[in-house]
Chains A and B, each alone.
Chain A
Amino acid sequence: MRGKQMTSSPRDEPLFHGGGVMEACDSSRVSLREFGCEQNLLSRPDGSASFIHGDTSVYAGVYGPAEVKVSKEIYDRATLEVLIQPKVGLPSVRERSQEQCVRETCEASLLLSLHPRSSLTLILQVLHDDGSLLSCFLNAACMALMDAGLPMSCLFCGVTCAIDADGQIITDPTAAQEKESRALMTFAIDSTQRNVLMSSTKGSFSVNELQQCIAVSQTASEKIFQFYRDSVQRRYSKTL
């Protein structure tokens, strides 16, 4: 080959130094849009839920555990498939990347080894996108999995934070706020340790801003988990 070859030697200095200080965050500073959730609203799937963040709205349906295609069979756990249907048109590369994020988050919280050699399918249908779509997917997915009665090690929720031009952190931004923001981050937070399960970011930001956003998301997650609890309570208080 033409061109030049050159090699950087692998370094063996002690790394992984440093350690961030977790920022505390006042929960009154975190404002989220109005939530809405309804479980078990579709009759065909084994579990279903709708989730609404302000004007953003997503339907989720779960099928399974069911028989799995031989080519996708995993011998010691269930195969989870996530399909995202956009409001109009066919799913594109962007949806594929979101599917990957949602799937791996669900895989981490579901106890898939309890259903070896079976398939789980999660379908997410966008009804309207007005910002914070990925976090809405995550919340809808979690509610639908709960409704399907699948065993999980923990719950999870999605929080989107936007950093605007002045460096202010906006939680749960609308589409207009997302467009004007300098950076956009979505995190999935687990319910047991409030740690980050998934992270997906756009735009550039400093380390400090990242830590702040994580702290804000962890605070916001409290509100969402409380909302989960309330909506499930409301639902079962009706039926019992």
Chain B
Amino acid sequence: MPTDNKRVRGPEVSQSPSLFLCKPAVVVPPPCGPRPDGRQRDQVDVRAVFVRCGLVSQAKGSAYIEAGDTKLMCCVYGPKETERKDETDMKCGRLTTDMRFAPFSCPERGSWIQGSQDKDFSLMLHESLQPAVCLHKYPRSQIEVNVMVLENSGSVLAHAVTCASLALADAGIEMYDLVLGCSIRQDGGSYVVDPSYTEQNGCSSVRSENQGNLTVAFLPSLNQISGLQSDGEMTEETLAAGVRTCIEGCYKLYPVIQQALAKSVRRAAPPPSES
């Protein structure tokens, strides 16, 4: 492996202490009964979210979202001149997305170098956002969307989509609609909405047919789906039901996002005083 000479290096190998626990601390949650955080199974019970716009002074638009312990922030730069001249599109702007996990964001320490998972997420984020942005209004320019995951406690992609669309709106980029994300975890006949990290990655011992994760990016006022990502094995009916559940989850999120956006607009341009 080539050595990384652009960072302060540690030892060649190091292992997470969680590999050597005397007692296995992580108990796989049983696929029935209430969820570890007290939410209801088989119901559209999303975590309470905290959203804030316009935190980063240097960015054109920015947003921070916190759902349970999942914390991520997004900054939008642009529209600016395309960096690579050969890719300049005279008719249409370019949207670039970059999603990264802070090394300390997951229970296991992540590497500094962007892994394939980050790149997959970046691509999915790009595909979910692009249909919502009026790119034809920004010819020859590029809009950069950067997402940083500070703490990963499940449903990262769904919240990244929501956060990114909020940051785009905060930057004043013209859009057809906001994009909201929601994900579910299917475990046999039951499902959990907005799964936590252990729920998302904990494989239950009972192998069943319907098992997988589903993330939907949804344009609420147009009632359209812009992105859908699923893994695992699910029957057609389960998947269709899952998509409907996700859309319901998005609608729960919608008023919170609208409020946050309205608040930031009001702060940027306060309404004229009555007197």
Report how far A42 CA is from B9 CA in the complex, Å.
35
| Shortest Cβ distance from residue A92 to the other chain B in the assembled complex, whole angstroms | 4
A6 at the interface (CB under 8 A from B): no
| Shortest Cβ distance from residue A237 to the other chain B in the assembled complex, whole angstroms | 44
The 8 Å CB contact of B66, one of A1, A90, A91, A96, is A1
CB distance B66 to A93 under 8 Å? no
SS of A interface (majority): loop
CB distance B5 to A92 under 8 Å? yes
| Shortest Cβ distance from residue B275 to the other chain A in the assembled complex, whole angstroms | 33
| Shortest Cβ distance from residue A144 to the other chain B in the assembled complex, whole angstroms | 25
B113 at the interface (CB under 8 A from A): no
| Shortest Cβ distance from residue B7 to the other chain A in the assembled complex, whole angstroms | 7
Report how far A92 CA is from B6 CA in the complex, Å.
6
Report how far A147 CA is from B24 CA in the complex, Å.
68
Residue total for A at the interface (Cβ-Cβ under 8 A): 6
| Shortest Cβ distance from residue A169 to the other chain B in the assembled complex, whole angstroms | 30
B22 at the interface (CB under 8 A from A): no
CB-CB under 8 A from B5, the residues of chain A are 90-93
Q: How large is the interface on B (under 10, 10 to 19, 20 to 34, 35 or more residues)?
A: under 10
CB-CB under 8 A from B9, the residues of chain A are 92
B222 at the interface (CB under 8 A from A): no
**Chain A positions 1 through 37: 1 when the CB is less than 8 Å from some CB of chain B, otherwise 0:** 1000000000000000000000000000000000000
Nearest residue (CB) in B for A2 is B69
Nearest residue (CB) in A for B150 is A1
Report how far A93 CA is from B8 CA in the complex, Å.
6
Tell me the residues in window 205-226 of chain B with beta carbons closer than 8 Å to chain A beta carbons.
none
CB-CB under 8 A from A1, the residues of chain B are 66, 71
Report how far A150 CA is from B7 CA in the complex, Å.
34
Report how far A74 CA is from B9 CA in the complex, Å.
33
Report how far A89 CA is from B244 CA in the complex, Å.
58
Nearest residue (CB) in B for A91 is B5
**Chain A positions 78 through 101: 1 when the CB is less than 8 Å from some CB of chain B, otherwise 0:** 000000000000111100100000
The listed residue with most A CB atoms (<10 A of its CB), out of B6, B9, B66, B71, is B6
| Shortest Cβ distance from residue B56 to the other chain A in the assembled complex, whole angstroms | 15
| Shortest Cβ distance from residue A28 to the other chain B in the assembled complex, whole angstroms | 42
Report how far A92 CA is from B9 CA in the complex, Å.
10
CB-CB under 8 A from A90, the residues of chain B are 5
**Chain B positions 46 through 87: 1 when the CB is less than 8 Å from some CB of chain A, otherwise 0:** 000000000000000000001000010000000000000000
Nearest residue (CB) in B for A89 is B5
Report how far A91 CA is from B7 CA in the complex, Å.
11
Nearest residue (CB) in A for B6 is A93
Tell me the residues in window 3-38 of chain B with beta carbons closer than 8 Å to chain A beta carbons.
5-9
CB-CB under 8 A from B66, the residues of chain A are 1
| Shortest Cβ distance from residue B67 to the other chain A in the assembled complex, whole angstroms | 13
CB-CB under 8 A from A93, the residues of chain B are 5-8
Report how far A43 CA is from B5 CA in the complex, Å.
31
**Chain B positions 141 through 175: 1 when the CB is less than 8 Å from some CB of chain A, otherwise 0:** 00000000000000000000000000000000000
CB-CB under 8 A from A96, the residues of chain B are 6
Nearest residue (CB) in A for B64 is A1
Report how far A96 CA is from B9 CA in the complex, Å.
14
CB-CB under 8 A from B6, the residues of chain A are 92-93, 96
Report how far A91 CA is from B5 CA in the complex, Å.
7
Report how far A92 CA is from B5 CA in the complex, Å.
5
Report how far A90 CA is from B2 CA in the complex, Å.
11
Report how far A91 CA is from B3 CA in the complex, Å.
11
Tell me the residues in window 93-111 of chain A with beta carbons closer than 8 Å to chain B beta carbons.
93, 96
| Shortest Cβ distance from residue A88 to the other chain B in the assembled complex, whole angstroms | 13
| Shortest Cβ distance from residue A91 to the other chain B in the assembled complex, whole angstroms | 7
Report how far A90 CA is from B7 CA in the complex, Å.
13
Closest 4 CB pairs of A and B: A92-B5, A90-B5, A93-B8, A93-B7
Interface residues of B (CB under 8 A from A): 5-9, 66, 71
Interface residues of A (CB under 8 A from B): 1, 90-93, 96
Query: 5 pairs across A/B with beta carbons < 8 Å?
Result: A1-B71, A90-B5, A92-B6, A93-B8, A96-B6
Additional 9 contacts, C-beta under 8 A, given A1-B66, A93-B7, A93-B8: A1-B71, A90-B5, A91-B5, A92-B5, A92-B6, A92-B9, A93-B5, A93-B6, A96-B6
